[in-house]
Amino acid sequence: MLKLLRKHKYTFLELTHSWAHIHQAFHSMFPPVDKFLRAVYIVDSMGYRRASMILIDGARYDVLSELVVEGKLPNLRKLDMRRAVTVFPSTTGPAYLPFLTGFFPGELDVPGIRWLSKDALARNFLHPHARRSYMGYEAVFFNRDIKARTIFQYFHKPWAIFSLITKGLSPRGNRTRWVRRLMYPYSHFLHDWRPLERTFARKLIEWAESDSDFLFAVFPSVDGFSHLYHPFHPKVLESYRNFDRALGTMLEVLRKRGELKDTLVLVVSDHGLSPTRTHVDLARFLHERFGCLYYPLVFKPGASSAEMVSGNGMSHIYLKNGTWRGRTFYEDIEDLQLLEDLLKLEGMDFLACRTREGAILVLGRRGRAKVLSEGGRVLYEFEGEDPLSFGGSGTFSSLEVLERTFCGEHPDAPLQLLQLFSSERTGDIVASARPGYDLRARWEFPEHRSTHGALTKDQMLVPVLSNAPLPPEPMRTVELFGWILKLSGRDHGETPTD
């Protein structure tokens, strides 16, 4: 995929100007795509004529699999099912990127649903691309911010339904271009996601009856109702059943047209959710100490910190350190008492920041760990209580990292932190909350009673289902981009269509 990631030791100046190199190098920690095609599913290598990737936003593996086993999702029950690890932050938008580009969000410099570019802010406090929230009007910049080809560009007539990301689509291919802008605010503020469910079902039928060769569709109501209530609420479970009925209707249309056997069907999720008991006001904590920029109050003069929350289980914390330009390292922070006080906040799971030598330092309440890329492998060392529950020190391949953590409390954590810190826009400090907590106490309407974004198992493990044999566990969602192209008869390295 990309060239080998080498061990780097930077001076402060070198590191602040080397992000493009790190960004390009990170993906080399993975074997070539064909190694992920572990012989199990190299069936029908001649390619499916059509392909569909349908995303249930916020679907938890345990909830969906239990409904499948109980026979309450009869159409999903017909599909092969696996668990996969999503990306950190486990949040809508950035967690779409592995499916649509084959890259981690950190590699694409999109480290969260909200982020800050310190260098752009240093150039001009009012710079239009110094700060970003894809939750508001700045969502129109998402396509611009993605510096990679999307899966849409590998197909001739791609469609999208309710997708935040539409780069590479023609206006005709974006089937809910205007409907999404009108219906999402209605559903969000009036707490009624059923109109979106009905539109989603109709659009699936339209696609099945069309000559489009690729579909990416997002089913939003599981996430919407989970935030309103909790992941096991009757309205959430009813949304799973409504999705299953919509999928079943699409499959029946394809069957009647004689196209079902030639159509790849992949059902995925971008993240899970955890019930939320307590909202931690991280923005207020920072504002009382330094003055803080946070959404929606991002133009306040005189602030020396910024807080950009995602999900709301994780947050990027940025520190001015005399100037906004360049990263603030652990060595610049350690004497401020800031890290110790952040860890004392109720619900804080761990903090991560970068050292001058290029390592990532992970801090828990009773221990710390170091994560470093060395020769295409992951070095992990800890002292005291292991903050990521990795269970050992040493150097590991990317697959070994996944295998050791797949069923643990922090799935794939060392590698996920490496991918996140490959972004120039990642915070000087990354905070991740424990289950039951989030990091945003104000400005969230309606109040969130479920959380995602954090690096915890309920939020990181997601279901993957398909009518084709899937790769074996453990796997990452980033693998599925190449898998779809392979089974669709398209070479991952070929030149995409315009």
Indicate the DSSP class of residue 20.
H
pLDDT of 47: 81
Share of the chain above pLDDT 90, in %: 81
- Sequence-distant (6+) residues with CB within 8 A of 103 are 27, 97, 148, 478
The arithmetic mean of pLDDT across residues 327-355, rounded, is 97
Size of the chain in residues: 498
Three-state SS for 440? Answer: coil
Three-state secondary-structure class, residue 82: strand
Segment among 53-67, 288-302, 328-342, 480-494 with least mean pLDDT: 480-494
pLDDT band at 278 (very low <50, low <70, confident <90, very high): very high
Count Cβ atoms within 10 A of the Cβ of residue 115 and give its class: 0-12 exposed, 13-18 middle, 19 or more buried. buried
Distance CA(380)–CA(360), nearest Å, equals 10
For residue 401, report the phi and psi dihedrals to the nearest 5 degrees. -60, -45
Instruction: Tally Cβ neighbours within 10 Å of residue 255.
Output: 13
pLDDT on residue 187: 66
Domain annotation for the chain: domains and CATH numbers = 46-110+146-274+455-487 (3.40.720.10), 278-448 (no CATH)
| Structure confidence by residue, pLDDT tens digits, 465-493 | 999 999 999 999 999 999 999 999 987 66
- CA angle (96 as vertex; 457, 40 as ends), nearest 5: 70
What's the mean pLDDT when you consider all of the chain? Answer: 89
What's the predicted TM-score (pTM) here? 0.90
What local confidence, expressed as pLDDT, does residue 194 receive? Answer: 84
**Which pLDDT does position 26 carry in this prediction?**
57
Q: So what's the pLDDT on residue 17?
A: 35
Buried b (16+ CB within 10 A) or exposed e, 470-496: bbeebbbbbbbbbbbbbbbebebeeee
The distance between the two most distant Cα atoms of the chain, rounded to a whole number of Å, is 69
Average pLDDT of the residues in 42-47: 51
> What's the confidence (pLDDT) of residue 30?
54
Which residue is associated with the tokens 């009925």?
245
For residue 99, the 8-state DSSP code is: H
CB 152 within 8 A of CB 173: yes
Q: How confident is the model at residue 2 (pLDDT cuts 50, 70, 90)?
A: very low
Helix H or strand E encompassing 333: helix 330-333
The pairing of beta strand 131-133 with beta strand 278-279: unpaired
Q: 312: cis peptide before it, omega within 30°?
A: yes
